[in-house]
Amino acid sequence: MAAETIMTAASGRAAKARGATHVHPTAVVHPKARLGAGVAVGPYTVIGEHVTVGSGTAIGAHCVLEGHTTLGQDNEVFTGAVIGSIPQDLKYQGEESLLVIGDRNRIREYVTINPGTAGGGGKTTLGSDGLLMAYAHIAHDCLVGDRVVIANSAALAGHIVVEDRAVIGGLVGVHQFVRIGTLAIIGGCSRVIQDIPPYSTCVGYPARVYGLNTEGLRRAGIEPDAQERLHHAFRVLFRSKLATRTALERLAGDGLIDAPEVTHLVEFIRQSKRGVCRA
């Protein structure tokens, strides 16, 4: 193959800079697929009829984008990713469903993301500014927020909610219908079968709460006063051995729920249907 026809990251950036769309000659792009300005499509990639790719997005070699899938602007999709293939759910009957991905995500090698199902709302979403490392999987009807990191070979089952800035370690398996809270971090090789509280550090088989994600809070710019209130809330919720309802009442009595972060933590726990990981 001639050197000038090989798609590289440099040629993708050049296409973006020119505002041109660059599709490698070996790629198969359906005539009805919609590609924005500056999109770069690598060798042997296949893009289906109902796919929309936002401007400035670079798609590497041997990728498959299919289904009713929408990618926003300035995403990077690396070799072998499969985005929008039908849900791995026996209840799926071929109904039209959606996959919506935001902007500036890095979707690394061989990541798989499935659209929704009729039984789960019909839509899978991934926010913006996320990082999905190699072989990560997001199943049907998941709702994943902004600035989320999912490390290598971690897998989300169906109907999972991941709030903003959560970090999911490598080889983590997350049970269907679980929620993962804002700025939570889950250590590698954990088995997650209950909700992960916001701002927590969790790890284990099954996962357990080990404390507050202090480094994550610092990096997110959470004020010291709010961090101190969260420290106290975690001691009451996870170290006092109080029943959950009693612990929540204790926090209200201490006046801590006036802080937005503590209010979010309390409401997250109150709304849990699967139960929350304990210490």
Catalytic residue among 140, 169, 173, 264, which? 140
Catalytic residue among 158, 170, 181, 216, which? 158
Residues 6+ apart with CB under 8 A from 174: 154, 155, 156, 157, 160, 168, 180, 192
Strand order in the sheet with 179-180: 34-35, 52-53, 68-71, 98-101, 123-126, 143-144, 161-162, 179-180
Active site residue 89: no
Indicate the length of the chain as a whole number: 279
Instruction: Give the helix/strand (H/E) hosting 65.
Output: strand 64-65
Q: CA–CA distance from 32 to each of 29, 46, 49, 51 (Å)?
A: 8, 13, 5, 8
Closest by Cα among 251, 279, 278 to 267: 251
Catalytic residue among 89, 103, 141, 195, which? 141
Residues 6+ apart with CB under 8 A from 212: 199, 200, 201, 227, 230, 231, 234
Locus of tokens 């106290």: 232
Distance CA 115, CA 101 (A): 10
Active site residue 140: yes
* CA torsion angle 179 182 184 190 (round to 10): 20
CB distance 41 to 22 below 8 Å: yes
Phi and psi at 242, nearest 5°, equal -75, 150
Active site residue 158: yes
- The residues assigned a catalytic role are 140-141, 158
